[in-house]
């Protein structure tokens, strides 16, 4: 009798797990237009477009059953019960809405419109540190590359903490490969880290803090405020096939550079690589130019900071218009938006300074904000 009750209990637990797994494939979709008059599309055809954007499986294989819930009424779109053959579909929806909800709750996003872009499966917002567009473009490039072997390195504004251990699962790595105790002490990964894990974890390994029986890589923080190093925002990801080809990897903590991020050095023996990384030559050339670009940018910023600010009430509308008519038009060819904007800024500032200097030398009259003459 006891044996039979144990079997029944185990069977019940098993059936509950199967039922929970099956219910995980159910999704309630609202807002889908109802009626055959809309391009003669059925509910299944409308939902297929959504499923196609959230999963790579063909919609015909994904959708099992579609059912409108509730009684039909005019001017009302009833919710749809969608039973999908892939459990990851609902998980992806949940992830997107959690990210959207988190962005909407931020005080700095109070006046901003947050929306979900299904084309790139990301949440669109104007946040400074959680823009997923570059990461989505990176993932798209990886999916279209025939080699599928990559090195990704740079500032991703992602803090992983101890969750980085997930990058070791399901991969053939050197003996005793593990991550040492993380120096970036956070309780949970931030939004960028979660997105990167969902995109890169199946095929890549995070190199920061990685260690094996024979070698280990840098575990230093990469971002500082003043003299204090506080977090690890710059990371390196590499295909497992390249780990044996790495000669060295290091984070160089120095506050002397004109940046609040530490430079990362990665040295690879390309002779040990079965195929070359994507765009390695172009990346090398860009890296060599970073110093000259930074030096030139710093010099321009120093000049801009020394400029005297000009207030609108100091400018005469008629005189500045006359001054601008005689100014040279910026060259539009070759088309360089940054250079054109810089040239326009220079023309406006020079014209304004010239006009103000003229007023100061020939007149003691003042002007109000509406550019009406005020007699003293």
CA-wise closest residue to 59 among 50, 72, 70, 71: 50
Residue 166's pLDDT is what? Answer: 87
Asked if the model's pLDDT at residue 334 lies above 80, the reply is no
Domain layout of the chain by residue ranges? 21-109, 150-275, 307-374
CA angle in degrees (0–180, nearest 5) for 192-133-111: 85
Question: What's the rounded mean pLDDT across residues 311-319?
Answer: 73
Residue 107's pLDDT is what? Answer: 78
**Count of other CB atoms within 10 angstroms of residue 265:** 12
CA-wise closest residue to 261 among 300, 302, 220: 220
Q: Are 191 and 159 in contact (CB under 8 A)?
A: no
Q: Are 269 and 242 in contact (CB under 8 A)?
A: no
Question: CB-side exposure of 68: number of CA atoms within 13 Å?
Answer: 16
Residue 184's pLDDT is what? Answer: 84
Residue 38's pLDDT is what? Answer: 47
Q: Which of 114-118, 229-233, 299-303 shows the lowest mean pLDDT across its residues?
A: 299-303
Question: Higher pLDDT residue, 136 or 155?
Answer: 155
Residue 365's pLDDT is what? Answer: 40
Q: Are 89 and 34 in contact (CB under 8 A)?
A: no
Asked if the model's pLDDT at residue 360 lies above 50, the reply is no
Residue 128's pLDDT is what? Answer: 45
Residue 305's pLDDT is what? Answer: 54
Give percent of the chain with pLDDT exceeding 90: 0
- In the 8-state DSSP scheme, what is residue 242? G
Question: What's the rounded mean pLDDT across residues 311-333?
Answer: 75
Q: Distance (Å, rounded) from C-alpha 233 to C-alpha 154?
A: 8
Asked if the model's pLDDT at residue 283 lies above 50, the reply is yes
Question: What's the rounded mean pLDDT across residues 172-189?
Answer: 83
**Residue 306: band (very low, low, confident or very high) from pLDDT cuts 50, 70, 90:** low
Question: What's the rounded mean pLDDT across residues 291-297?
Answer: 51
Q: Which of 30-34, 128-132, 153-157, 257-261 shows the lowest mean pLDDT across its residues?
A: 128-132
Identify the top-confidence range among 16-30, 97-111, 119-133, 292-306. 97-111
Question: CB under 8 Å to 52, separation ≥6 — which residues?
Answer: 58, 59
Q: Distance (Å, rounded) from C-alpha 374 to C-alpha 368?
A: 7
Q: Give 21-109's CATH code, choosing from 3.30.70, 3.10.20, 3.30.379, 1.10.3470.
A: 3.30.70
Buried b (16+ CB within 10 A) or exposed e, 140-172: eebeeeeeebbbbbeebbbbbbebbeebbeeee
Asked if the model's pLDDT at residue 123 lies above 60, the reply is no
**Residue 21: band (very low, low, confident or very high) from pLDDT cuts 50, 70, 90:** low
Q: Which of 152-166, 226-240, 283-297 shows the lowest mean pLDDT across its residues?
A: 283-297
Q: Are 116 and 124 in contact (CB under 8 A)?
A: yes
Question: What's the rounded mean pLDDT across residues 90-102?
Answer: 75
pLDDT in tens, 212-238: 877 788 778 888 877 788 888 888 898
Give percent of the chain with pLDDT exceeding 70: 63
Question: What's the rounded mean pLDDT across residues 306-318?
Answer: 71
Coil/strand/helix, residue 117: strand
CA-wise closest residue to 139 among 90, 204, 91: 204
Beta strand residue intervals within 76-218, DSSP E? 80-84, 115-117, 122-124, 151-155, 178-179, 205-206, 210-211
């Amino acid at each position: 009798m006891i044996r039979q009750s144990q079997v029944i209990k185990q069977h019940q637990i098993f059936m509950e797990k199967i039922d929970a797994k099956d219910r995980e494939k159910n999704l309630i979709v609202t807002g889908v237009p109802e009626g055959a008059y809309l391009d003669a599309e059925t509910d299944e055809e409308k939902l297929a477009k959504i499923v196609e954007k959230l999963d790579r499986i063909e919609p015909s294989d994904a959708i099992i059953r579609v059912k409108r819930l509730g009684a039909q009424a005019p001017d009302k779109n009833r919710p749809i019960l969608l039973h999908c053959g892939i459990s990851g579909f609902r998980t992806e929806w949940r992830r997107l809405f959690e990210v959207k909800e988190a962005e909407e709750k931020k005080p700095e996003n109070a006046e901003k419109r947050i929306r979900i872009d299904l084309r790139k499966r990301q949440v669109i917002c104007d946040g400074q540190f959680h823009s997923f567009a570059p990461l989505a473009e990176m993932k798209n490039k990886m999916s279209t590359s025939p080699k599928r072997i990559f090195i990704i390195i740079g500032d991703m504004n992602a803090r992983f903490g101890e969750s980085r251990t997930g990058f070791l699962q399901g991969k053939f790595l050197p003996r005793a490969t593990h991550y040492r105790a993380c120096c970036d002490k956070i309780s949970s990964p931030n939004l960028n880290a979660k997105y990167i894990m969902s995109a890169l974890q199946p095929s890549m390994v995070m190199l920061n803090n990685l260690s094996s029986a024979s070698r280990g890589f840098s575990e230093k923080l990469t971002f500082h405020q003043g003299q204090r190093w506080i977090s690890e925002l710059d990371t390196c990801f590499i295909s497992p096939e390249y780990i044996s080809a790495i000669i060295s990897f290091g984070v160089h903590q120095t506050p002397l550079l004109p940046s609040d991020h530490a430079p990362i050095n990665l040295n690879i023996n390309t002779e040990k690589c079965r195929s070359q990384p994507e765009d390695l030559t172009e990346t090398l050339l860009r890296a060599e130019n970073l110093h000259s670009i930074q030096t030139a940018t710093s010099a321009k910023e120093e000049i801009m900071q020394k400029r005297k600010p000009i207030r609108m009430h100091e400018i005469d509308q008629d005189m500045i218009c006359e001054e601008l008519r005689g100014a040279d038009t910026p060259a539009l060819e070759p088309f360089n938006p940054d250079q054109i904007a810089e040239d326009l800024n220079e023309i406006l500032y020079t014209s304004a300074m010239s006009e103000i200097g003229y007023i100061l030398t020939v007149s003691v009259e003042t002007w109000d904000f509406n550019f009406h003459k005020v007699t003293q």
